[in-house]
Structure 1
Amino acid sequence: MSVQLYARDVGIGTPLVLLHAFPLSSAMWLDQRAGLAARCRVITPDLRGFGGSPLGAGEPSVDAMADDVAATLRGLGVTRAVVGGASMGGYVAMALCRRRPDLVRGLVLAGTRASADSDAARERRLRQAERLDRDGTVQVLLDEVLPHLVGPTTLRQRPLVYGRVRGLVQSAPPHAAAWAQRAMAARGPAFGTLRELGVPALVMVGAEDALTTEDEARAMADALPDAELLVVPKAGHLCAVEQPEPFNQAVAEFTAALARTAR
């Protein structure tokens, strides 16, 4: 059963839905709400259990998270949107493309992958989920996830950005993070969904991303019928947070091009 997500909704024009990374919240999109609201309607939900959204009940599932987004868009009166996702948000965006392609006007994928987890990655997620539930703290995420979220350039040159990301990780509710890890561990590959996508897509990856490689981004772009690939310099896994200016510029141009073709 879907939960009603808390969502920030700013700006006017083409709806742009941005789905956040794990284990953050829609607060990661601060620079996007500020930088893109003059050019489109920016909707940034907190996925279930994070930020202002309830966790709800039900088996952990990326599909359930996608259904939450669909229900939230319906509640906002949005019938079609450009849907973007970072990391976990990308998995949810691809699930939405499979379950509700009618809602998707264009797709933006950043720092994510279309393959399922390897056995080792799945086991790591499930082990972390067990610790999150057992300990009732996010220490395991601070120890094992946070070090990989930003690139070395950010660590050296933008300590305030790293501090902000650390604060977002510290704010994650442990049981929601455990639920999300189990949902991501259970997901299947999404290449079939991408091959059938009937709308344009923009794939982005940080040049210093230690979690998703440029090869994985290229594999998604190659699977998509109409896609552009952009490698963001001096950015790690969270390119939208680490290098918001090039990220915003690329998304603004992509969204504007879609608006022009719709006329």
Structure 2
Amino acid sequence: MTTDGLLAIHRYRTGRAGLVPLVLLHGFPLDHRMWDDVVDLLPGDRTVLALDLPGLGASPAGQDVADVRGASGEPALEVAADAVAATLRSIGIERAVVAGLSMGGYVAMALVERHPELVAGLGLLDTKSTADPDAVRANRHRIADAVLAEGNVDEVLGMSRALLGETSRVQRADLIGRLELWIRAQGPAGVAWSQRAMAARPDRTQVLAGFGGPALVLVGREDELASLADAEHLRAALPAADLVVVPRAGHMTSIEGPEPVAAALDALALRVDAG
């Protein structure tokens, strides 16, 4: 685990020079492993890496990252975005295709706002640009309080089912166990920090309207957490976005439909290369 405010880097492969790297940001309450199936299907000539967001996976705690970044106050996705930028620059990446799923999408949008020069192409998967309604925000704080009080992540284990679409829940029960394993690997402090950071996020629809680079919006047809309507809202905001709908998949398209996700990310990266 790093102690310099940088995030844990998981370099899947180093590609050839001249191709823009692909950077993957995971969802909540998971880590970089949710991208493994997708990366296995990507062409092998491009650098592909994933980062663990603050407090999750092998990355340092959110408050530790914030302290190093000189960010005081409550948990914030802006801290995560600044840490992503600093981590990429620490390994010489100044321009990348950045793709995030769910919470990773929130961080990617904050990165566009705060470090636009880094984002050559933007992939937003199963996410939304709007802020949380009051009831959702209150529930995030309730969950944060609960996991810290109980000292475990039992409060979010039910997400192993909620993250999946109905087809996967019925036909691919193995995915439930896989998600539960990943969720159990996270610490209560990281789960709480992430929930509070997501609760505090603003509406970033206008940020997307100012992004002129190639973009991808992707959503699972059965996603109950970020709907097709949310995806259409994103596409309408982005000047140069393609919309991909993954059939028989819910919120976790990266494991429910890795083939169309990999194809869509590869197409996005090729658009950036052609630039």
3-state SS in 1 of match to 2:164? coil
Mind listing any 5+ residue stretches in structure 1 that lack a counterpart?
A: none
How far apart, in 2, do the equivalents of 1:210 and 1:170 lie? 22
Please, what TM-score do these two structures have when normalized by structure 2?
0.91
**Which residues in structure 2 correspond to 1:78-157 (within 5 Å)?**
78-143=93-158, 145-157=159-171
How far apart, in 2, do the equivalents of 1:2 and 1:107 lie? 27
Match of 1:38 in 2: 44
Of 159-168 and 102-111, the range deviating more from structure 2 = 159-168
Tell whether 2:39 aligns with 1:25.
no
Asked whether the 8 Å contact 1:3–1:48 carries over to 2, the reply is: no
Q: How many residues align?
A: 260
Match of 2:88 in 1: 73
Please, what TM-score do these two structures have when normalized by structure 1?
0.95
Of 25-34 and 65-74, the range deviating more from structure 2 = 25-34
Question: Which residue among 245, 251, 257 is the counterpart of 1:231?
Answer: 245
3-state SS in 1 of match to 2:144? helix
How far apart, in 2, do the equivalents of 1:130 and 1:67 lie? 25
**Which residues in structure 2 correspond to 1:178-189 (within 5 Å)?**
178-189=192-203
3-state SS in 2 of match to 1:208? coil
3-state SS in 1 of match to 2:232? helix
3-state SS in 2 of match to 1:189? coil
Of 165-174 and 180-189, the range deviating more from structure 2 = 165-174
Tell whether 2:260 aligns with 1:253.
no
Q: Which runs of 4+ in 1 moved over 6 A?
A: none
How big is each residue's C-alpha offset from its partner over 1:137-194, in whole Å with a ceiling of 9 and x where there is no partner? 1111013x33310111112222222221111111111111000000000010010100
Aligned-pair distance for 1:240? 1.1
3-state SS in 1 of match to 2:135? helix
Of 96-105 and 55-64, the range deviating more from structure 2 = 55-64
How big is each residue's C-alpha offset from its partner over 1:213-245, in whole Å with a ceiling of 9 and x where there is no partner? 100110010011111111100110011111101
How far apart, in 2, do the equivalents of 1:202 and 1:56 lie? 28
How far apart, in 1, do the equivalents of 2:27 and 2:62 lie? 19
Match of 1:52 in 2: 58
Tell whether 2:29 aligns with 1:15.
no
Aligned-pair distance for 1:37? 5.4
How far apart, in 1, do the equivalents of 2:170 and 2:79 lie? 38
Asked whether the 8 Å contact 1:39–1:252 carries over to 2, the reply is: no
Mind listing any 5+ residue stretches in structure 2 that lack a counterpart?
A: 67-73
Asked whether the 8 Å contact 1:32–1:248 carries over to 2, the reply is: yes
Tell whether 2:222 aligns with 1:208.
yes
Cα 1:84/1:136, change in 2 over 3 Å:
same
Match of 1:31, as an amino acid? D
Cα 1:230/1:127, change in 2 over 3 Å:
same
Asked whether the 8 Å contact 1:11–1:37 carries over to 2, the reply is: no
Q: How many percent of aligned residue pairs carry the same amino acid?
A: 43
How far apart, in 2, do the equivalents of 1:27 and 1:72 lie? 18
Asked whether the 8 Å contact 1:2–1:67 carries over to 2, the reply is: no
Match of 1:6, as an amino acid? A
